[in-house]
Structure 1
Amino acid sequence: MTCLLYHITATISLLSLTSYRLCIRHTYYLLNFNYFFHNKKKLPITFTYLIIIP
């Protein structure tokens, strides 16, 4: 949800590029978190989340 807030801020604010970079960075950290701390079976779910949010 935090990433979604970054994306909305990117649409409204003049700092859109910075907000979008934060959104991508947040999603990338989420991907690493699921990879290291969960089973590999949950990884495709994370990839779906990665595609939908940005």
Structure 2
Amino acid sequence: MLRHTFGTRLLRQVADVVLVAEPMGHSLLDTTRRDTLPTAIDREAAIDLLIVDR
């Protein structure tokens, strides 16, 4: 549970699975994906971080 919480919270902060994988000690991104629990709201927030030229 702690591992999932750490990974999910870190993913919410940085929104980059590659940057989350390293401190979690994962060599495979599939492992990081399994150990994080992003929600639909998390995905929307990550998309909102994109800078769009207007």
- Same topology, TM > 0.5: no
Q: Is the helix fraction higher in 1 or 2?
A: 1
Give me the TM-score of the superposition, normalised by structure 2: 0.35
